[in-house]
């Protein structure tokens, strides 16, 4: 019984930490904070990024170069974008976790909703993003379910 309580506490702590990292990712994108974006990602040649309309990127360096370019373009065209996660679902299993959520991209003129999957891996005690995939098909929404993952 004591072991189960400890396991539940660890699971709850990991779930909260993943939720925080997921929020930090979107906060960093909104603030165009390249250092925080870099801290969220695992520094590895195997991390992946897939976004609508773009080719898949593999590797920390390529992903960070893309974000740097994206932030520069947003500055150049004075584009203000707030990126908010909504309908967040988290599943933590050992050292890996995945998050399925909506990405609400809010500008002065419109809101675009993407469906995203973020996969995290716990490395050196910190949860790091290893895979991000966003899809714009039909303004899909992450659905809540009563079923356990």
Domains and CATH numbers, the chain: 2-139 (3.10.450.50)
Dmax over CA atoms of the chain, in Å, equals 58
Per-residue confidence (pLDDT) for residue 148, from 0 to 100: 44
pLDDT of 40: 98
* pLDDT value of residue 94: 94
Task: Compute and round to an integer the Cα radius of gyration of the chain.
Answer: 16
Q: What is the pTM of this model?
A: 0.85
Q: How many residues does the chain have?
A: 149
């Amino acid at each position: 019984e004591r072991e189960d309580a400890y396991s539940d506490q660890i699971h709850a702590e990991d779930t909260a930490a993943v939720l925080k990292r997921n929020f930090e990712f979107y906060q960093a994108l909104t603030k165009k904070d390249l250092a925080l974006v870099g801290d969220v990602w695992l520094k590895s040649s195997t991390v992946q990024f897939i976004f609508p309309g773009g080719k898949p990127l593999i590797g920390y360096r390529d992903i960070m170069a893309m974000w740097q370019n994206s932030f520069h373009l947003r500055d150049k065209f004075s584009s203000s974008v707030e990126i908010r996660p909504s309908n967040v679902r988290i599943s933590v299993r050992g050292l890996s976790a995945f998050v399925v959520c909506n990405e609400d991209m809010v500008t002065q003129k419109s809101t675009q909703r993407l469906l995203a999957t973020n996969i995290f891996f716990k490395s050196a005690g910190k949860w790091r993003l290893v895979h991000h995939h966003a899809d714009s098909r039909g303004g899909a929404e992450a659905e809540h379910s009563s079923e356990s993952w």
